[in-house]
Protein backbone atom coordinates (compact mmCIF):
# COMPACT_ATOMS: atom_id res chain seq x y z
CA UNK A 1 0.00 0.00 0.00
CA UNK A 2 1.58 3.25 -1.18
CA UNK A 3 -0.52 5.73 0.81
CA UNK A 4 -0.63 6.63 4.50
CA UNK A 5 -1.68 3.60 6.55
CA UNK A 6 -3.48 3.43 9.91
CA UNK A 7 -4.93 0.39 11.67
CA UNK A 8 -6.66 -0.96 14.74
CA UNK A 9 -5.24 -4.06 16.43
CA UNK A 10 -7.24 -6.29 18.74
CA UNK A 11 -8.56 -9.76 19.39
CA UNK A 12 -11.31 -10.30 18.39
CA UNK A 13 -11.36 -7.49 15.82
CA UNK A 14 -13.95 -8.60 13.26
CA UNK A 15 -16.76 -6.57 14.81
CA UNK A 16 -14.73 -3.38 15.35
CA UNK A 17 -16.52 -0.37 13.89
CA UNK A 18 -13.36 1.76 13.99
CA UNK A 19 -12.47 1.15 10.31
CA UNK A 20 -15.93 2.30 9.17
CA UNK A 21 -15.73 5.36 11.41
CA UNK A 22 -12.25 6.39 10.32
CA UNK A 23 -12.83 5.73 6.62
CA UNK A 24 -15.94 7.95 6.75
CA UNK A 25 -13.91 10.74 8.32
CA UNK A 26 -11.09 10.32 5.81
CA UNK A 27 -13.53 10.40 2.88
CA UNK A 28 -14.92 13.70 4.11
CA UNK A 29 -11.44 15.10 4.82
CA UNK A 30 -10.33 14.07 1.31
CA UNK A 31 -13.14 16.16 -0.20
CA UNK A 32 -11.42 19.29 1.17
CA UNK A 33 -7.79 18.18 1.09
CA UNK A 34 -6.63 15.70 -1.58
CA UNK A 35 -3.79 14.42 0.65
CA UNK A 36 -6.31 12.41 2.64
CA UNK A 37 -7.51 10.45 -0.40
CA UNK A 38 -4.36 8.36 0.05
CA UNK A 39 -5.03 7.52 3.70
CA UNK A 40 -6.45 4.08 4.63
CA UNK A 41 -7.46 2.58 7.97
CA UNK A 42 -7.06 -1.20 8.29
CA UNK A 43 -7.89 -3.72 11.01
CA UNK A 44 -5.71 -6.63 12.12
CA UNK A 45 -6.47 -9.53 14.41
CA UNK A 46 -3.44 -9.85 16.71
CA UNK A 47 -3.05 -12.17 19.70
CA UNK A 48 -1.34 -10.71 22.80
CA UNK A 49 1.67 -13.02 22.31
CA UNK A 50 2.15 -11.54 18.82
CA UNK A 51 1.72 -7.87 19.71
CA UNK A 52 5.44 -7.02 19.97
CA UNK A 53 6.15 -8.52 16.56
CA UNK A 54 3.08 -6.89 15.00
CA UNK A 55 4.13 -3.45 16.28
CA UNK A 56 7.66 -3.91 14.90
CA UNK A 57 6.39 -5.08 11.51
CA UNK A 58 3.83 -2.31 11.14
CA UNK A 59 6.50 0.24 12.02
CA UNK A 60 8.85 -1.26 9.43
CA UNK A 61 6.00 -1.22 6.89
CA UNK A 62 5.65 2.54 7.41
CA UNK A 63 2.29 2.74 9.26
CA UNK A 64 1.66 6.26 10.62
CA UNK A 65 -0.62 5.40 13.54
CA UNK A 66 -2.39 2.58 15.33
CA UNK A 67 -5.36 2.16 17.62
CA UNK A 68 -5.28 -0.62 20.19
CA UNK A 69 -8.33 -2.28 21.64
CA UNK A 70 -9.06 -5.27 23.89
CA UNK A 71 -6.80 -6.95 25.08
CA UNK A 72 -3.75 -4.84 24.15
CA UNK A 73 -4.06 -1.46 25.90
CA UNK A 74 -2.07 -2.29 29.05
CA UNK A 75 0.39 -4.72 27.48
CA UNK A 76 1.44 -2.15 24.87
CA UNK A 77 2.74 0.25 27.53
CA UNK A 78 5.74 -2.07 27.90
CA UNK A 79 6.27 -2.36 24.15
CA UNK A 80 6.33 1.27 23.01
CA UNK A 81 9.43 3.52 23.03
CA UNK A 82 7.71 6.13 25.12
CA UNK A 83 4.35 7.02 26.66
CA UNK A 84 2.90 10.54 26.49
CA UNK A 85 2.91 12.17 29.96
CA UNK A 86 -0.87 12.45 29.71
CA UNK A 87 -1.21 8.63 29.43
CA UNK A 88 1.34 7.65 32.07
CA UNK A 89 -0.96 7.68 35.12
CA UNK A 90 -3.53 5.60 33.21
CA UNK A 91 -1.09 2.76 32.55
CA UNK A 92 -2.83 1.97 29.25
CA UNK A 93 -2.56 3.28 25.69
CA UNK A 94 -5.14 3.16 22.88
CA UNK A 95 -3.36 5.35 20.31
CA UNK A 96 0.16 4.89 18.93
CA UNK A 97 1.98 7.57 16.95
CA UNK A 98 4.91 6.77 14.74
CA UNK A 99 8.33 8.12 15.76
CA UNK A 100 11.68 7.55 14.04
CA UNK A 101 12.62 4.57 16.15
CA UNK A 102 9.33 3.12 17.37
CA UNK A 103 5.90 4.04 18.71
CA UNK A 104 4.77 6.72 21.14
CA UNK A 105 1.75 5.63 23.19
CA UNK A 106 -1.11 7.96 24.06
CA UNK A 107 -4.61 7.53 25.46
CA UNK A 108 -7.68 9.29 24.04
CA UNK A 109 -10.38 7.36 25.96
CA UNK A 110 -10.73 9.95 28.75
CA UNK A 111 -11.03 12.75 26.23
CA UNK A 112 -13.69 10.69 24.42
CA UNK A 113 -15.61 10.19 27.65
CA UNK A 114 -15.58 13.89 28.57
CA UNK A 115 -16.71 14.97 25.10
CA UNK A 116 -19.30 12.19 24.89
CA UNK A 117 -20.83 13.28 28.20
CA UNK A 118 -21.02 16.85 27.00
CA UNK A 119 -22.43 15.93 23.57
CA UNK A 120 -25.10 13.49 24.75
CA UNK A 121 -26.06 14.74 28.19
CA UNK A 122 -24.80 18.33 28.32
CA UNK A 123 -22.77 17.38 31.41
CA UNK A 124 -19.23 18.47 32.27
CA UNK A 125 -16.90 16.56 34.58
CA UNK A 126 -15.46 19.85 35.82
CA UNK A 127 -16.93 20.55 39.26
CA UNK A 128 -19.33 17.60 39.13
CA UNK A 129 -19.71 14.83 41.69
CA UNK A 130 -19.00 11.55 39.90
CA UNK A 131 -20.02 7.99 40.79
CA UNK A 132 -17.87 5.62 38.73
CA UNK A 133 -18.77 1.94 38.43
CA UNK A 134 -15.84 -0.43 37.83
CA UNK A 135 -12.12 -0.59 38.57
CA UNK A 136 -10.71 -2.13 35.37
CA UNK A 137 -8.86 -0.45 32.52
CA UNK A 138 -11.75 1.72 31.33
CA UNK A 139 -12.52 2.87 34.87
CA UNK A 140 -8.87 3.78 35.43
CA UNK A 141 -8.89 6.03 32.36
CA UNK A 142 -12.19 7.58 33.42
CA UNK A 143 -11.00 8.20 36.98
CA UNK A 144 -7.81 9.92 35.79
CA UNK A 145 -9.87 12.12 33.45
CA UNK A 146 -12.29 13.03 36.26
CA UNK A 147 -9.40 14.08 38.51
CA UNK A 148 -7.59 15.92 35.75
CA UNK A 149 -10.77 17.89 35.05
CA UNK A 150 -11.19 18.59 38.76
CA UNK A 151 -14.48 16.84 39.42
CA UNK A 152 -16.02 17.80 42.77
CA UNK A 153 -15.78 14.29 44.24
CA UNK A 154 -15.23 10.77 42.98
CA UNK A 155 -16.92 7.67 44.41
CA UNK A 156 -15.78 4.42 42.82
CA UNK A 157 -17.97 1.33 43.17
CA UNK A 158 -16.56 -2.13 42.39
CA UNK A 159 -17.50 -5.73 43.10
CA UNK A 160 -13.98 -7.03 43.83
CA UNK A 161 -12.37 -5.19 46.78
CA UNK A 162 -8.73 -5.90 45.84
CA UNK A 163 -9.12 -4.31 42.40
CA UNK A 164 -10.89 -1.33 43.91
CA UNK A 165 -8.13 -0.90 46.50
CA UNK A 166 -5.40 -1.03 43.87
CA UNK A 167 -7.14 1.66 41.82
CA UNK A 168 -7.66 3.91 44.85
CA UNK A 169 -3.98 3.64 45.75
CA UNK A 170 -2.81 4.50 42.27
CA UNK A 171 -5.14 7.53 42.15
CA UNK A 172 -4.00 8.96 45.50
CA UNK A 173 -1.09 11.00 44.03
CA UNK A 174 -3.43 12.59 41.44
CA UNK A 175 -6.37 13.42 43.67
CA UNK A 176 -5.32 16.90 44.84
CA UNK A 177 -8.23 18.47 46.73
CA UNK A 178 -10.77 16.01 45.30
CA UNK A 179 -12.27 13.49 47.70
CA UNK A 180 -11.86 9.97 46.23
CA UNK A 181 -13.62 7.08 47.98
CA UNK A 182 -14.35 3.46 47.13
CA UNK A 183 -17.31 1.21 47.93
CA UNK A 184 -18.72 -2.24 47.32
CA UNK A 185 -22.04 -2.12 45.41
CA UNK A 186 -23.94 -3.45 48.45
CA UNK A 187 -22.27 -1.08 50.93
CA UNK A 188 -23.03 2.38 49.59
CA UNK A 189 -22.82 5.15 52.19
CA UNK A 190 -25.79 7.44 52.90
CA UNK A 191 -23.90 10.61 52.10
CA UNK A 192 -23.43 10.13 48.34
CA UNK A 193 -24.19 13.46 46.65
CA UNK A 194 -27.32 14.14 44.59
CA UNK A 195 -26.79 15.46 41.06
CA UNK A 196 -23.88 13.11 40.37
CA UNK A 197 -22.78 11.89 36.97
CA UNK A 198 -23.00 8.08 37.09
CA UNK A 199 -20.57 6.39 34.69
CA UNK A 200 -20.65 2.65 34.08
CA UNK A 201 -17.15 1.40 33.25
CA UNK A 202 -17.88 -2.23 34.13
CA UNK A 203 -18.55 -4.84 31.48
CA UNK A 204 -21.82 -5.78 33.24
CA UNK A 205 -24.47 -5.26 30.58
CA UNK A 206 -22.54 -6.62 27.60
CA UNK A 207 -24.57 -9.83 27.87
CA UNK A 208 -28.34 -9.93 28.37
CA UNK A 209 -28.04 -12.12 31.47
CA UNK A 210 -25.60 -9.78 33.28
CA UNK A 211 -26.63 -8.30 36.62
CA UNK A 212 -26.95 -4.52 37.07
CA UNK A 213 -23.59 -3.05 38.15
CA UNK A 214 -25.57 -0.91 40.63
CA UNK A 215 -29.20 -0.34 41.53
CA UNK A 216 -29.68 3.32 40.56
CA UNK A 217 -32.75 3.54 42.81
CA UNK A 218 -30.38 3.37 45.80
CA UNK A 219 -28.71 6.67 44.83
CA UNK A 220 -29.82 10.23 45.52
CA UNK A 221 -31.15 11.45 42.16
CA UNK A 222 -28.21 11.62 39.70
CA UNK A 223 -27.82 14.31 37.01
CA UNK A 224 -27.31 11.62 34.37
CA UNK A 225 -26.24 8.06 33.66
CA UNK A 226 -23.61 7.25 31.03
CA UNK A 227 -22.92 3.61 30.14
CA UNK A 228 -19.61 3.06 28.30
CA UNK A 229 -21.17 -0.02 26.71
CA UNK A 230 -22.68 0.80 23.29
CA UNK A 231 -23.42 -2.68 21.98
CA UNK A 232 -26.09 -3.57 23.04
CA UNK A 233 -27.27 0.06 22.86
CA UNK A 234 -29.74 -0.22 25.75
CA UNK A 235 -28.21 -2.09 28.68
CA UNK A 236 -30.32 -3.01 31.73
CA UNK A 237 -28.68 -0.04 33.52
CA UNK A 238 -29.85 2.38 30.82
CA UNK A 239 -33.31 0.81 30.79
CA UNK A 240 -33.51 1.40 34.53
CA UNK A 241 -32.30 5.00 34.09
CA UNK A 242 -35.11 5.50 31.55
CA UNK A 243 -37.71 4.07 33.95
CA UNK A 244 -36.46 6.41 36.67
CA UNK A 245 -36.70 9.37 34.29
CA UNK A 246 -32.95 10.06 34.38
CA UNK A 247 -31.01 11.55 31.45
CA UNK A 248 -28.93 8.71 30.01
CA UNK A 249 -26.72 7.75 27.08
CA UNK A 250 -24.63 4.84 25.87
CA UNK A 251 -20.91 4.79 25.11
CA UNK A 252 -21.07 5.33 21.36
CA UNK A 253 -20.25 9.03 21.67
CA UNK A 254 -17.18 8.11 23.74
CA UNK A 255 -16.04 5.69 21.05
CA UNK A 256 -16.56 8.31 18.35
CA UNK A 257 -14.75 11.08 20.24
CA UNK A 258 -11.78 8.91 21.24
CA UNK A 259 -11.45 7.90 17.58
CA UNK A 260 -11.74 11.50 16.41
CA UNK A 261 -9.03 12.52 18.86
CA UNK A 262 -6.72 9.76 17.58
CA UNK A 263 -7.26 10.84 13.98
CA UNK A 264 -6.63 14.48 14.94
CA UNK A 265 -3.31 13.45 16.56
CA UNK A 266 -2.23 11.51 13.46
CA UNK A 267 -3.39 14.06 10.89
CA UNK A 268 -2.69 17.27 12.79
CA UNK A 269 -5.97 18.66 11.51
CA UNK A 270 -9.61 18.98 12.50
CA UNK A 271 -11.70 15.84 12.10
CA UNK A 272 -15.38 15.58 11.03
CA UNK A 273 -16.92 14.06 14.15
CA UNK A 274 -20.45 14.02 12.72
CA UNK A 275 -19.36 11.83 9.79
CA UNK A 276 -17.71 9.42 12.24
CA UNK A 277 -20.82 9.32 14.39
CA UNK A 278 -23.07 8.62 11.41
CA UNK A 279 -20.77 5.84 10.18
CA UNK A 280 -20.59 4.28 13.65
CA UNK A 281 -24.39 4.17 13.92
CA UNK A 282 -24.70 2.71 10.42
CA UNK A 283 -22.07 0.05 11.17
CA UNK A 284 -23.94 -1.00 14.32
CA UNK A 285 -27.38 -1.07 12.71
CA UNK A 286 -28.84 -4.60 12.72
P1 LIG B 1 -11.87 -4.82 32.43
O2 LIG B 1 -11.97 -6.26 32.19
O3 LIG B 1 -10.54 -4.17 32.64
O4 LIG B 1 -12.75 -4.44 33.75
C5 LIG B 1 -14.05 -4.97 33.90
C6 LIG B 1 -14.76 -4.28 35.06
O7 LIG B 1 -16.11 -4.73 35.05
C8 LIG B 1 -14.21 -4.63 36.44
O9 LIG B 1 -14.36 -3.52 37.29
C10 LIG B 1 -15.13 -5.78 36.87
O11 LIG B 1 -15.28 -5.88 38.27
C12 LIG B 1 -16.45 -5.29 36.30
N13 LIG B 1 -17.42 -6.38 36.10
C14 LIG B 1 -17.36 -7.37 35.17
N15 LIG B 1 -18.44 -8.17 35.26
C16 LIG B 1 -19.20 -7.67 36.27
C17 LIG B 1 -20.43 -8.04 36.84
N18 LIG B 1 -21.12 -9.11 36.39
N19 LIG B 1 -20.93 -7.29 37.85
C20 LIG B 1 -20.25 -6.21 38.30
N21 LIG B 1 -19.06 -5.79 37.81
C22 LIG B 1 -18.55 -6.52 36.80
O23 LIG B 1 -12.66 -4.13 31.22
P24 LIG B 1 -12.49 -2.65 30.64
O25 LIG B 1 -12.30 -1.75 31.80
O26 LIG B 1 -11.49 -2.66 29.56
O27 LIG B 1 -13.90 -2.37 29.94
C28 LIG B 1 -15.08 -2.17 30.69
C29 LIG B 1 -16.23 -1.79 29.79
O30 LIG B 1 -16.01 -0.51 29.19
C31 LIG B 1 -16.45 -2.78 28.65
O32 LIG B 1 -17.83 -3.01 28.54
C33 LIG B 1 -15.96 -2.03 27.43
O34 LIG B 1 -16.66 -2.43 26.28
C35 LIG B 1 -16.29 -0.59 27.80
N36 LIG B 1 -15.45 0.39 27.09
C37 LIG B 1 -16.05 1.29 26.24
C38 LIG B 1 -15.30 2.23 25.57
C39 LIG B 1 -15.99 3.20 24.67
O40 LIG B 1 -15.30 3.86 23.88
N41 LIG B 1 -17.29 3.35 24.73
C42 LIG B 1 -13.84 2.30 25.72
C43 LIG B 1 -13.30 1.33 26.66
C44 LIG B 1 -14.09 0.40 27.29
P45 LIG B 1 -14.35 -6.88 39.17
O46 LIG B 1 -13.11 -6.10 39.48
O47 LIG B 1 -15.21 -7.12 40.34
O48 LIG B 1 -14.10 -8.10 38.32
The pocket around ligand 1, CB under 6 angstroms, is made up of 109, 112, 134-139, 158-160, 163, 201-204, 206, 210-211, 213, 228-230, 251, 254-255, 258
pLDDT in tens, 224-249: 999 999 999 999 999 999 999 999 99
138-151 mean pLDDT: 96
Q: What is the CATH number of domain 4-107+253-284?
A: 3.40.50.10860
For residue 229, how far is its CA from the centre of ligand 1 (angstroms)? 9
Q: What is the CATH number of domain 124-246?
A: 3.40.50.720
pLDDT in tens, 159-195: 999 999 999 999 999 999 999 999 999 999 999 999 9
Residue ranges matching CATH 3.40.50.10860 in the chain: 4-107+253-284
Q: What is the value of ipTM here, to two decimals? A: 0.99
Are 53 and 79 within 8 A, CB to CB? no
In sequence order, the 6+-apart residues with CB closer than 8 A to the CB of 96 are 55, 65, 66, 67, 68, 76, 80, 103, 104, 105, 106
pLDDT band at 286 (very low <50, low <70, confident <90, very high): confident
For residue 157, how far is its CA from the centre of ligand 1 (angstroms)? 12
DSSP state for residue 77 in the 8-state scheme = G
Residue ranges matching CATH 3.40.50.720 in the chain: 124-246
pLDDT band at 1 (very low <50, low <70, confident <90, very high): confident
pLDDT in tens, 186-202: 999 999 999 999 999 99
Does the structure show a pLDDT above 90 at 273? yes
Nearest alpha carbon to residue 84 among 62, 108, 63? 108
Quick check: pTM over 0.90? yes
Amino acid sequence: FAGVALAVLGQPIKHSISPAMHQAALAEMAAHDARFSHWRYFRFEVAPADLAEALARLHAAGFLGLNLTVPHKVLAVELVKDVAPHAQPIGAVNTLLRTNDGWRGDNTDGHGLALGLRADLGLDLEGAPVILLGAGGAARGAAVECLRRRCASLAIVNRTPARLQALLESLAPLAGPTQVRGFAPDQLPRDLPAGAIVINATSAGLRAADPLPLDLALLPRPAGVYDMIYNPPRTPLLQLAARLGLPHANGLSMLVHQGARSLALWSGTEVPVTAMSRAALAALAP
